[in-house]
Amino acid sequence: MDPRVVTAPGSRAGARQWLGLAVLALPTLLLSVDATVLYLALPHLGADLQPSSTQLLWIIDIYGFMIAGFLVTMGTLGDRIGRRRLLLVGAALFAVASVVAAYSTTAVMLVGARALLGIAGATLMPSTLALISNMFHDARQRGLAIGVWAACFSVGVAAGPLVGGALLEWYWWGSVFLLAVPVMLILLATAPVLLPECRDTEAGRLDLPSVALSLAAILPVIYGLKGIAEGGVAVLPLASMVLGVLFGVLFARRQRRLSDPLLDMRLFANRVFVGALTALLVGLAVVGVVYMLVTQYLQLVAGYSALTAGLWLLPSAAAMIISSMAAPVIARRIAPGLLVGIALGVSAVGYFLLAIVDSRDGVGLVVTGLVIVYLGVGPLMALGTDLVVGGAPPAKAGSAAALSETSMEFGLALGVAVLGSVGAVVYRSGMTDSMPVGLPPEAVDASRDALASVVAVAGDLPGQLGTPLLDAARRAFTDGLNVVGAVSGVLTVVIAVIAVVLLRDTDTAGAADGSDGGPEAEVTDAEASAAMSPGEPSRR
């Protein structure tokens, strides 16, 4: 680590560091905007590329899977080659992949581009947090800086529907991907000037077999789950899941043998750590798929434009911003574990409201339900990482924070894959029972695939066929939303109870203001690395 470009331990950051924080806010904001605008673009790219329901799910969730799979690896790689250097490489790759995604001509091409975006995103997320920790050593300034970093996600969620809706109102669906290009160009131009370079010169080598084993464990399991949801129980999906589990066992065994593992398995012996991580995983899994379905409901069922749908989504984003900012203050009086459980209970109410939405006049109930859902998601997002880090030994705080990000990204992608597939099964079942007689073969195929495909072909059919087909598809889609809402509500209630039990007796002050569960002042990356080994941990 070059001491000339990093603030001295215990010193207060100056103008350069705060300008650097503004630079780091760019990729953070973009990643959250990128996630939300895609959902608004689904009907448009669905009509253009006409992906199957399986391809549509892969377009959405391959991004999160790649981020989740590579987060820990990229964080470790940044320690070795330099965190600013990794950030710049990731920014360049993200810009190139965004252009490829914008001009994709097939669904398969878009899936590949989204996979590259996920790998690039995995380089950006750990690099930003690591650089913040190197730039801000004063405890209060560091807390404020991390708070600004975290708030960017909520702001991105709020801005995403508006920005995406405006772009889709005037341009084609690929414009939502091109939004990343100027942002990354600004990052590439300013980061070398405003951001320090830092690396851990004593870090262990990157264990490539562990990287391969982690991906070999995750991807086959997801493929198997999606295959069963798409075509029922079959040999290939089951074999894929078994293969993934076997690789997962091999991965865990290898981590226990390594002196410098990719993932320290001993962290999972801590009750608070596991409880917080589970709450983040399940909480983000259900909210991710519900957000996807609600955006499609507003456009394909209610018939709103992308911009109008974005405006309807604004109240829920505002609710999350308010609750996430209020959560640390409330946590000074209420134990964070109990607060997380209460927040999840609030979200469950919103999910159950979505379970009774109607396809004809359900917009008000959909918006109200989503607002309540996001009101509970805010405290979970704000306190979850603090609880994960606080539930781990101080020497493992950095690894615990990386796992927190991984669980959130993997949860979002897993929810879309599993619960999204459940919604697709309900939709196809409903269309099988209510499909109008006399449809041409291409309309029959479209009706069994996805609602976006029905909207694309219904306008070309005679009125006596097109209108009944569209009404039936909207009812079937809403039935899928109802089932997903009910399942999400039940899962959230269960995880709320588990969170209250596992997170009991958590330290209120530490979670509220960051005074506990994290190192106090960074000295050098070498000392931080030494703290990862057995013995007395160094305090950062």
| Residue 531: closest CA among 391, 400, 394 | 394
The predicted pLDDT at position 537 comes to 33
The predicted pLDDT at position 160 comes to 76
The predicted pLDDT at position 297 comes to 92
The predicted pLDDT at position 91 comes to 92
Output the CA angle 254-129-276, nearest 5 degrees: 60
Q: How far apart are CA 275 and CA 501, in angstroms?
A: 8
209 CB neighbour count, 10 Å cutoff: 12
> Contacts for 262-270 with beta carbons within 8 Å, 24 or more apart?
262/72, 262/73, 262/76, 262/206, 262/207, 262/210, 262/211, 262/214, 263/72, 263/210, 263/214, 263/399, 263/403, 264/396, 264/399, 267/392, 267/396, 267/399, 267/400, 267/403, 270/391, 270/392, 270/393
The predicted pLDDT at position 275 comes to 85
Structure tokens at 164: 């995406």
> What global pTM score does this model have?
0.75
The predicted pLDDT at position 254 comes to 92
Eight-state DSSP code of residue 516: S
Angle between helices 363-390 and 139-170 (to 10 degrees): 150
The predicted pLDDT at position 202 comes to 64
pLDDT in tens, the chain (540 residues): 443 344 444 567 678 888 888 888 888 888 877 766 777 787 888 888 888 777 887 887 788 778 877 887 887 777 777 888 889 999 999 999 999 999 998 989 999 999 999 899 888 877 777 787 777 776 556 656 666 776 777 677 767 777 877 888 788 888 888 888 998 999 999 989 888 887 666 666 778 898 889 888 877 876 776 666 556 567 888 898 899 899 999 998 998 888 777 777 877 887 888 888 888 888 988 998 898 899 889 988 988 887 788 788 888 888 888 887 788 778 778 888 888 899 999 999 999 999 999 888 889 999 999 999 999 988 887 777 667 765 555 445 446 666 777 777 777 767 877 888 888 888 888 888 777 777 777 777 777 777 877 877 777 777 667 788 888 888 889 999 999 999 999 999 999 999 888 887 665 444 434 333 333 333 344 443 333 333 333 333
Eight-state DSSP code of residue 301: I
The predicted pLDDT at position 4 comes to 38
> Contacts for 109-117 with beta carbons within 8 Å, 24 or more apart?
110/45, 110/49, 110/51, 110/59, 111/55, 111/58, 111/59, 111/62, 113/177, 114/58, 114/59, 114/62, 114/63, 115/62, 115/63, 115/66, 117/34, 117/63, 117/66
Angle between helices 107-135 and 397-434 (to 10 degrees): 150
Output the CA angle 203-517-393, nearest 5 degrees: 55
